Amino acid sequence: MLDDDNGWEPGPVFDEDETDYVLAPPAADTQTSAHDSPKPVYGDLESWLRKHLSQVIRRRFGGSLTWCSQWYRHAEAVSRLNAMWQEWEKAVVEDTMSTWWLYHCDPHLNMLMSKDSGPFMACKPDEHRQLEPLPLADSDPDLWLGTAFSDPRDPAPDAGTDAAVAASRTSSSPD
């Protein structure tokens, strides 16, 4: 018998075959023509999540894992899931699914489902709870004027300052 002190509860038993979904249509169906960019397998994030990811990923929640059925109410979750979907679409076309699992799906799902530090940490699979945004104090606007925060494409980031103008005059004067 398993110890229930960590919040683990047995999940439902599935009678259906876990492979009743379509991974992706054949590669020829994902192309519109030789000159066009590939046509996505799924038209939007929710379609991909409902028809693909939620059918592939099966987990028991409790212990260190959680989920929120109202995932769309968590900005971080939407951003991470959208990144996963976009990379999945590329992996289908480029035939790099193993890379997608290792470098996109696994790290994002680990963070999303983490009961300790993920965006669903206050939620239960059937109960949404909103977290507060990160607290931010107002910063000193002069802090952002340093060269570390200037645009590296700007050839003269300090050209408009009095010190930069004075320095250019002294360096261009004949000796």
Instruction: Provide the number of structural domains found in the chain.
Output: 2
Residues 41 and 105 in one domain: yes
**12 against 85, higher pLDDT:** 85
Q: What is the Cα–Cα distance from 76 to 121, expressed in whole angstroms?
A: 12
C-alpha torsion angle, residues 57, 62, 64, 65 (rounded to 10): 30
* 108 shares its domain with 26: yes
- Whole domain around residue 43: which residue ranges? 17-112
- pLDDT-based confidence at 155, cuts 50/70/90? low
Selected residue with higher pLDDT from 53 and 160 = 53
- Tell me which of 162 and 105 has the higher pLDDT: 105
Q: Say if residue 152 is in the same domain as residue 105.
A: no
46/100 same-domain check: yes
Structure tokens at 107: 């790290």
pTM of the model: 0.65
62 forms beta bridges with 65
